[in-house]
Chain A
């Protein structure tokens, strides 16, 4: 894995960096939560992300849409350095978290991942752990031992994940005893327990029924009051329901980025129009 901020960005037309419409920044500052500049990612010789520049506004939900293989999950994983877990991965460009270069040599990946949490497509609670242990595992791995603080953060995270009322009487039950939707909210609680600044979600509701999906979507809308959320989804209606901004990726490029209402009613690029109307290819 190499970072190559010093490398020259590939030539090409300027790409959309920020939504055309005004968005909220961190209160008191003018800094986006996340800023990607000329971000290119390679897996071996495969150039999967091509000079993407994009600003993610703070305390808003930004949806990433696009066909399979367009690079949206790769982009998401690059935002908390998770793509580095692939041995052949190589990156060019820059990603800043509230102005700070997260690929700087002084920054530990584990610190980035604590500040930028991730929720995956398939809920992945630790099967041998209880509900409570699952939520606090990140804190304990970070060295927190104070029982009172752990208990406080456990409740806080489960409340934020809208799961507290459903599990408060069985916190020691195995996490895998929960339903699929509850397990996914448990994973969100686990991500929230370390108090991240940004929450990344990779198709968090794609394996859930409509009722469980609705709960996750309600939760996302609630969480955006305090968190910056970036969500990858194949479900355009979901993006329309919950996101403030939408970015359309195709073949590793950011094609269009703007307010969700505009992208879904009046996209300016033909590729976006074709994709959102289902006439792609």
Chain B
């Protein structure tokens, strides 16, 4: 049991390291776009390899733990850790995509257009950050409250896409830049999706309720009484 507890501790620490690096990668990528900073964009790509390795590490530890046949909250933690790490790896991939587009955008003059990208970036970063906070604090109520916020991100992304499409029609010379910004916006929207996914996993971790694809964001009512119903009744 001591060995199991130690391994479980290693799993949590590896996942938290990965979470911290993924969150930092998103922040750097957004900064690279906003500040037109080539060096920051390069750092994001370099960090991605470390995050990929951390994902492999999490899976390896989780499989070792699953071989010990864990049950109940241990089983949930291990399976959730594998899913969260997969989401974090994809968050880092999206950060890489943003960084790549940031480098491309830096090659051209800035587009003078009032876009909601900084706000979208802030929403996506907050979504991931708060989802990870709920994981650390094991706070299913907060995790549930995050899920519907993804819709606001989706709406803003759509609005930005419409603005960029209009811009491309009006000024064909900005098409390349607009397309790069569309990819940036889409990546931010995907990052928020992963934040939502992590929040849903936190609900499963804490309450053993799978709320994915259900639209359920409210906690279930407590059972009416101690005595369960009769089978077959």
Q: Tell me, yes or no, whether B72 is within 8 Å of chain A by CB.
A: yes
| Residues 247-281 of chain A, each 1 if its beta carbon lies under 8 Å from chain B, else 0 | 00000000001100010111100001100111100
Q: Tell me, yes or no, whether A240 is within 8 Å of chain B by CB.
A: yes
Q: Are A266 and B227 closer than 8 Å at their CB atoms?
A: no
Interface size class of B (residues with CB under 8 A): 20 to 34
Q: Tell me, yes or no, whether A20 is within 8 Å of chain B by CB.
A: yes
Q: Tell me, yes or no, whether A181 is within 8 Å of chain B by CB.
A: no
**Chain A residues whose C-beta falls within 8 Å of the C-beta of B76 in the assembled complex:** 265-266
- Min Cβ gap A55→B in Å is 6
Instruction: State the total of A-B contacts with C-beta under 8 angstroms.
Output: 69
Q: Tell me, yes or no, whether B133 is within 8 Å of chain A by CB.
A: no
- Min Cβ gap A242→B in Å is 14
Q: How far is the CA of A21 from the CA of B228 in the complex (A)?
A: 8
Q: How far is the CA of A57 from the CA of B228 in the complex (A)?
A: 14
| Residues 103-147 of chain B, each 1 if its beta carbon lies under 8 Å from chain A, else 0 | 000000000000000000000000000000000000000000000
Q: Tell me, yes or no, whether A22 is within 8 Å of chain B by CB.
A: yes
Q: Are A32 and B4 closer than 8 Å at their CB atoms?
A: no
Q: Are A265 and B208 closer than 8 Å at their CB atoms?
A: yes
| Residues 1-34 of chain A, each 1 if its beta carbon lies under 8 Å from chain B, else 0 | 0000000000001101111111111000010100
Q: Are B71 and A55 closer than 8 Å at their CB atoms?
A: no
A interface: dominant SS: loop
Q: Tell me, yes or no, whether A236 is within 8 Å of chain B by CB.
A: yes
> Which residue in chain B gives the minimum CB-CB distance to A31?
B232
Q: Tell me, yes or no, whether B69 is within 8 Å of chain A by CB.
A: yes
- Min Cβ gap A186→B in Å is 30
Question: Could you show 7 A-B contacts with beta carbons less than 8 Å apart?
Answer: A18-B230, A21-B231, A24-B232, A32-B231, A55-B230, A267-B72, A276-B71
List chain A positions with a Cβ less than 8 A from chain B. Answer: 13-14, 16-25, 30, 32, 55, 57, 236-237, 240, 257-258, 262, 264-267, 272-273, 276-279
List chain B positions with a Cβ less than 8 A from chain A. Answer: 1, 4, 69-76, 207-208, 226-233
A30-B232, A273-B73 are known; give 18 further A-B pairs, CB within 8 A. A20-B229, A21-B231, A22-B231, A22-B232, A22-B233, A24-B232, A25-B231, A30-B233, A236-B69, A258-B228, A262-B208, A265-B208, A266-B76, A266-B207, A273-B72, A277-B70, A277-B71, A279-B1
